[in-house]
A and B are shown apart, each in its own frame.
Chain A
Amino acid sequence: MAIMYALKSSDNEIFEVEQKVIEQSETIKKMIEDGAATGEIPLQVSSKTLAKVLEWCKQRQHKTVENENDDNKGKRKKERDEDDDIKEWENKFSDELKADKDVLFDLLLASNYLDLPALLSFLCQLVADMVAGKMPEEIRRMFNIENDFTPEEEKAITAEHGWAFQP
C-alpha cells in the first residue's frame, strides 16, 4: 500500500497524494523526514496552482525513475524518438500556462517555495522562450512591466548597450 499524505491548499482544499509523488518537493520531503507532516500538511499555495503542481509531479515521477536508471549506466543522450510522449505532454502543459499567466507565475512561486528544481527550471525556460526574440516594449506588454525610467534614462541605457538593441 502506498503511503498517502493530505495536502491542504491556502483556500482549504484537501489533496490526497502518494508519498512518492510529493517527495519530489524537497520542502515537503524534509517535513516528512522531520516528522512534522502528521495529519494535513498546510501549504501557502492556492488549490488551482497546487493542482498544477501535482499534475507535474505525477507526470514527472515516471520520468525520474527512468532517468535514474540511466544515470547508473553512465549517460544517455536524449533520444528524440523515445521522448515523444513526454514532449507532447509538456507542450500541452506549457500552452495552458502561456494562456493563463496568473497560474504560470503562481506556479513559479510555488515551485520555488516547495523546492521543486525540475519544475522551476522548466518554468524559467518557458518564460525565457516567451521573452526570446522580443523587443523591450513587447516584453513589458506581455508581463505588465511598468517602465519607470524617464525617457532620458531609457535613452542612456539603450545607448550604453547599443550592441544589444540592434535588430
Chain B
Amino acid sequence: MDAMGDDVVNDWINQLPDEILVDIINRLSVVEAARTSVLSTRWKYLWTFITSLDFHSPRGMWKVLNKLDENEQSIKWTWGAVYRRYDREILVKRAKYICWVNKVLELHRGSSIDELKVSYELYDSHERIITSWIRAAISKGVQKLELNLRAAWGNRQYTFPKELSSISSLKSLSLSGVNVTSEIIESLVYNCPLLERLCVANSRPWLCLKVVISSIRLKHLVIEGCFSNEEFEISTPSLLSFKYHGTGHIKLNVQNVPQLVDLYISGYNLSNMIRPFINYLTQLETLELHFYLCEDNTRSPLCELPKLRYLTLSVSAPGAGNLFVLTHMIRACPFLLKFTLKFQLVGPRTERAIKQFPKCAHEHLKVVEFIGFVGHSIDLELAFYLLKNSISLEKMIIDLTSPFSRGNYWDFEDCEEKKEEKKAARMRARKLKEKAPKGVKLVIY
C-alpha cells in the first residue's frame, strides 16, 4: 500500500472534485485543516473554503492552572502566587489565540461560514475583536454561532452587541459567559427569522427582572447556571425541548408550549421547578430530572406520564440514602422504554445490607443504564430490583465514569485514586451478571 514499490501510482485523492476535498477538510479541526495546505499546490488554498470554524482551544485555561500546580511545587502555594503565574501564562496564550482566530478569518476565502465557535477566556476588554469575528461570520451567512467565553473572576463579561441582534441566517445561537440583557434576548428571538435553538448560560449581570421568550419558530431553549431570580416567561408554540440547569433560583412562567416533548429540569427544590410545566407533563416523551436526593424532592410522586419513553434521573445522594423512592417515578411512566440513572455519591461511602424492594412489574422497560455506577448497596439494590422487575428487559448498561465530571474542567477521571475506585466498582458490577435473567445483555464500560 505504501509508496514503496508502487510503480503505477494511483493518484486517488486528486481525482476528487474540489467540493468533496473541502467537505473532507471541513471535518478536521481548524489546525489540521490548515495543515493540509502544505500537501501540494492543489491543496494550498482548499482549506480556506471550509465552512465550519471551531476555534476550540485544545488546552483550556484550567489545564494551565493544573500544570502550574504540578510543576512548581517549589512555589509557596498561595492563591496569589498561582494567580500571578497564571495571569502571565494566560496573557501569552490569549494573545496567541486571538491572533489565530484573526488570521484564519482573514485567510478564509469561501463565500460561507456555516458555523463559528469561539471558546476561550475572553471578556469585556476584547469587545472590539469578538464583535469583529461575529460580523465576519454574519457577512458569510453564519447559521450556528457559539460563544463560550468563561470570563475569569473579577472581569466583566463581553456584552452581546445590540446592533447585531438581527441575524437573518442564524439557526442556532449559544452564548455562554456572555452578558445579555433581556432586551437583547428578546430582540434576538424576535428578529432572527430562522432561529430554532437558543442557549444562554452563565450570564452574570442580567440586570433585568423579566425575559419574555415568545416565538413561533424556536424549537430548543436552554438556560443554564443563571441565578439571580430572573423571571422567564416562555410562550413558544413551536418549542420541542426545554432545558434548565442550575440551582433553581429563577422563576419560570410557562404557557402555550403544546409541542413540548423533551424536558430537562434541575434545582434544589424539584417540585417547585416542575410546577410551571404541570399542564404539559402528560405530553412528554423524554424527561431528565437533576436533583439532590432528599425527602423534599421525592415526596410528591409525579403524575402519570403516559407518553414518556425515556426517563433520566440525575441524582446526588449520600451512601446511606435510599434510591427506592425513584421507583415511584419509574412506575409513573407505564410505557417507559429506557431508564437512565446518573449517580453521584456524596460524602462517605456507607456500606449497609442490601435491601429488598417490593415487587412491581415494569412491563415495557427494555434498556436500563447506570452512569456513575459505584456498586455500593445504594445503587446495587436498585440495579437488582430493576433486573428482577423489568420483564421485557433486553439490556443493562453499567458505566463506571462519573456523570458530572465528564468533559469539564474538573475531569479527574484519570487520576490513580479514581482508577482504583473504578476497578473495585467493576468487580462489584460483575455481581449483576449472576442476577441477570437469561436474555438480558449486560454491558460494563
Given contacts A108-B16, A163-B100, A165-B35, contact A147 B40 (CB under 8 A): yes
Cβ–Cβ contact B40 & A124, under 8 A: no
A135 to B34: give the CA distance in the assembly, Å.
11
B-side contacts of A65, CB under 8 Å: none
Cβ–Cβ contact A132 & B38, under 8 A: no
* In-complex Cβ contact of A149 among B14, B35, B38 (8 A): B38
Cβ–Cβ contact A112 & B40, under 8 A: no
| Chain B residue with the shortest CB-CB distance to A164 | B34
Given contacts A136-B36, A161-B37, contact A143 B240 (CB under 8 A): no
Cβ–Cβ contact A158 & B10, under 8 A: no
A-side contacts of B14, CB under 8 Å: 145
B-facing mask of A111-137, CB < 8 A → 1, else 0? 010000000110011011001110110
A150, chain B: closest CB distance, angstroms: 10
Q: Which of B17-25, B116-124, B413-421 contacts A (4 or more CB under 8 A)?
A: B17-25
A90, chain B: closest CB distance, angstroms: 16
A131 to B261: give the CA distance in the assembly, Å.
39
Given contacts A128-B27, A157-B44, contact A105 B285 (CB under 8 A): no
A-side contacts of B34, CB under 8 Å: 161, 163-164
A75 to B310: give the CA distance in the assembly, Å.
13
B101, chain A: closest CB distance, angstroms: 11
8 Å CB interface, A85-123 against B? 101-102, 104-105, 108-109, 112, 120-121
B7, chain A: closest CB distance, angstroms: 12
Interface contact tally, CB-CB below 8 A: 115
Cβ–Cβ contact A148 & B27, under 8 A: no
Say yes or no for B199: interface residue by CB 8 A criterion: no
Say yes or no for A48: interface residue by CB 8 A criterion: no
Cβ–Cβ contact B31 & A163, under 8 A: yes
Say yes or no for A144: interface residue by CB 8 A criterion: yes
Say yes or no for A62: interface residue by CB 8 A criterion: no
Cβ–Cβ contact B10 & A101, under 8 A: yes
A154 to B34: give the CA distance in the assembly, Å.
13
Say yes or no for A4: interface residue by CB 8 A criterion: no
Cβ–Cβ contact A125 & B16, under 8 A: no
B51, chain A: closest CB distance, angstroms: 13
Say yes or no for B262: interface residue by CB 8 A criterion: yes
Cβ–Cβ contact A141 & B262, under 8 A: no
Cβ–Cβ contact A73 & B38, under 8 A: no
B353, chain A: closest CB distance, angstroms: 32
B interface, CB within 8 angstroms of A: 1-3, 6, 9-17, 20, 23-25, 27-29, 31-32, 34-41, 43-44, 96, 100, 103, 240-241, 259, 261-262, 285, 338, 367, 369, 395, 397, 443
